[in-house]
Amino acid sequence: MKQYHFVTTWFVEAEAAAVFEALVRSEEWPRWWRGVTHVEELERGDEHGLGNLRRYTFRSLLPYSLTFDIRSTVIDPPRALDGDATGDLVGTGRWALTPADGGVTVRYNWDVATNVAWMNMLAPFVAPCFSWNHDLIMRWGEDGLREHLGLPPREGAVRARAIRRWLTIGAGVAVALVATLRKWRRGRSRS
């Protein structure tokens, strides 16, 4: 399994309670979070939702989907949401909300390993693409959350991030092609 540690930070000009409510109601994410194609509740958990188990399916521009279950382990309104993931991704996620001047800082820590054979096999060559994919999904989440809460889009961030991400994915593809070409050449020289 290939380990990944992602940290995403958003600043949202809204009350922490409103942001927390949107995040804790993940069954509604497919309505406003592009890339979240399906959320299904498998177990309800207690009266506050603690211990609930939900199945998530995410898909971005890359030609694959990831499906994993998350069991909530912490629900601390309006400060934190934690969960343990199993399935295509295995690990832990934590939403931390901190009130800040004029809004709330939202930080998401996602410590996971891929549990999909082809992803683990290709990780040495295309891990930057997988990281880009995660960042894209999270950017879509921030944009969708802002729209869901009636806030204006982020200023100027979309164009700069898109350019950086496309450069990153291009570099990842180039590395994968070079590695494949080297393997092919080695195979031909042995014949």
Q: What is the pLDDT of residue 187?
A: 77
For 111-161, the three-class secondary structure string (H helix, E strand, C coil) is EEEECCHHHHHHHHHHHHHHHHHHHHHHHHHHHHHHHHCCCCCCCCHHHHH
CATH number of domain containing 185:
3.30.530.20
Residue-range definition of the domain harbouring residue 51: 3-190
As averages over each run of 10 residues, the pLDDT of the chain (191 residues) reads: 95 97 97 98 94 97 95 98 98 97 96 96 94 96 97 71 67 74 76 67
Q: What is the pLDDT of residue 182?
A: 76
Q: Give, for 171, the enclosing helix (H) or strand (E).
A: helix 157-190
Question: Tokens at residue 8, please?
Answer: 């995403």
Q: What is the pLDDT of residue 184?
A: 75
Task: Give 15-49 as a DSSP string.
Answer: -HHHHHHHHH-GGGHHHHSTTEEEEEEEE--STT-
Give the number of domains in the chain: 1
Phi, psi of 143 (to 5 degrees): -60, -45
Q: Tokens 């540690």 identify what position?
A: 5
pTM > 0.85: yes or no:
no
